[in-house]
Amino acid sequence: QVQLVESGGGLVQTGGSLRLSCAASGRTFSSYAMGWFRQAPGKEREFVVAISRSGGSTVYADSVKGRFTISRDSAKNTVYLQMNSLKPEDTAVYYCAADRFSGLFSGSDHYIPDYWGQGTQVTVSS
């Protein structure tokens, strides 16, 4: 069992930055690919980014390429999402995800990972 706890969300102006964190419980953090999804009000869940178990591979949604960066720290059992040049359309609840397999790298909005966090709200004002 893995528990994921996100933090770092908040309110920021257009063009600003935020860094989300996702702390994972357990001693098997390195066994999981990690990722982030988001869901805006009235919209379907959207894949954002994924990172491999080793941290050596990443895949980003086109909408965030060049602005968001995912990283992971195995010593802290934590994955980070650095979000720069934020836009109002980035407003959403952001969910951390953990998966034992490579399905996160499909980039599918509909993929269901093994574990989800509770979500953290990101609001970008115009």
* Cα 2-50-43 angle, rounded to 5 deg: 90
Interatomic CA distance for residues 45 and 66, integer angstroms: 21
Task: Categorize the per-residue pLDDT at 26 as very low, low, confident or very high, splitting at 50, 70 and 90.
Answer: confident
Identify the H or E element spanning 43.
none
Model pLDDT, residue 74 = 92
- What's the farthest any 2 CA atoms get from each other in the chain? 41
pLDDT digits (tens, 9 = 90+) for 93-124: 999 999 998 889 899 999 999 999 999 999 99
User: What integer is the mean pLDDT of 24-46?
Assistant: 93
pLDDT digits (tens, 9 = 90+) for 65-96: 999 999 999 999 999 999 999 999 999 999 99
Report the amino acid identity of residue 10: G
Model pLDDT, residue 102 = 83
Q: What share of the chain is helix, strand, coil (3-state, %, to 5)?
A: 10, 45, 45
Beta-carbon contacts of 106 under 8 Å, excluding residues fewer than 6 positions away, are: none
- With a cut of 80, say whether residue 38 has pLDDT above it: yes
